[in-house]
Amino acid sequence: MAKNPIWCGYLEAGDKSTPVIRDQRLETGNPDTVYLFNFKRNEIIQYNRDIVEPKLRELRGPEEEVLGELKAAYSRTRRNFKMRTERVVHTPGRRPRATLERKDVDTEEPVGAADSEFEAAIDEEWSEEEGD
């Protein structure tokens, strides 16, 4: 029989102590972190594994009374939760830009054509000056 992937417990963290749920199906993509459903904050939070694991324990006595409410709150929150590993990891490469022919601003002619006409006009001026 398969092990239940959901563990309900308690996070002992002073004023921030709360019942929590650890769902092993939720992966952060980082072996140093873990997701826990924090009942007090009503959200799934990423915790540093080395810091949080020593503070986790089984539910005791009166804490077990909130188990039904804890599971229901987790179920509602889980529906809208997106794991980091579900985000797009590889974005598609950029398409090469189409090579556009640059236009002269005033004449709407290709830049190369304007340059040729300019050079021809200069050549003409120089040849007229030489003939004088």
Residues 54-69 pLDDT 10s: 999 999 998 899 999 9
Q: Which domain holds residue 13?
A: 6-85
Determine the longest span between alpha carbons in the chain, in angstroms: 114
Q: Let me know whether 56 and 112 are in one domain.
A: no
* pLDDT of res. 83: 74
The SS3 call for residue 85 is helix
Cβ atoms 86, 28 nearer than 8 A: no
Tell me if 92 is assigned to some domain. no
Q: Do residue 79 and residue 111 come from a single domain?
A: no
The verdict on 27 and 58 lying in the same domain is yes
Instruction: Return the pLDDT at 82.
Output: 82
pLDDT for the residue 68: 92
Structural domain total, the chain: 2
Residue stretches of the chain with pLDDT short of 50:
1, 86-88
pLDDT of residue 126: 55
Q: Is 90 a domain residue?
A: no
Q: What is the pLDDT of residue 86?
A: 45
Cα→Cα distances 103→48, 82, 109, 115, Å? 57, 48, 5, 11
Predicted structure pTM score:
0.61
What is the token pair recorded at 42? 């009503």
Give the H/E segment covering residue 18: strand 18-23
1 assigned to some structural domain: no
The CA distance from 36 to 28, in Å, is: 11
pLDDT given for residue 32 in this prediction: 94
- Please state whether beta strands 43-48 and 56-58 pair in parallel, antiparallel, or not at all (unpaired): unpaired
Instruction: Let me know whether 132 and 67 are in one domain.
Output: no
> Does 111 map to a domain?
yes
Is the same domain home to 55 and 105? no
Indicate whether 117 belongs to any domain.
Answer: yes
59 with 115, same domain: the answer is: no
**Tell me, what's the pLDDT at 85?**
54
In a domain, 94, yes or no: no
Distance in angstroms (rounded) separating the CA atoms of residues 94 and 108: 29
